[in-house]
Structure 1
Amino acid sequence: MAVNCFQCCHFYVTWDPKHPRGCKAYGFKTRELPSAVVLRSSGMECMKFEPKKGSGGA
């Protein structure tokens, strides 16, 4: 199953229109989802995925 960057605490949205998505764990920005770049370049699923902490709100 593919890693969902939107559920990862390392994922962030950038202000760069050419590279709107980023990964703090790997330290890069990209147009696509960072997990897709990691999979394509390494042949392996992202090893740095960490689920976002829940807000605990009602």
Structure 2
Amino acid sequence: MTESQRINCMKCQHFYITWDANFPRGCKAYGFKTQTMPSLRVLSSSGKPCMNFEPKADSKQKQ
């Protein structure tokens, strides 16, 4: 996977930060917490890039 294909979880509406120090990152779409970025966990588990990526809404447009 090249850098241009890498999915940036920080820009996904399903990504969240947890209170769990052992698993600080989570994915609401897949329903799991992980130590690494969720997209990397999905890639290593399935061999395919994350299919649930949805970009966050632009907060400037909401106002």
TM-score range, shorter chain: over 0.9
What CA distance in whole angstroms lies between the structure 2 residues aligned with 1:48 and 1:12? 14
Report how far residue 13 of structure 1 moved. 0.1
> How many residue pairs end up in the alignment?
58
TM-score (norm 2): 0.88
Residue 26 in structure 1 maps to residue 26 in structure 2: no
What CA distance in whole angstroms lies between the structure 2 residues aligned with 1:6 and 1:21? 10
- Matching residue's letter, 2:20: D
Runs (4+) of structure 1 exceeding 4 A deviation are: none
What CA distance in whole angstroms lies between the structure 1 residues aligned with 2:37 and 2:59? 24
TM-score (norm 1): 0.95
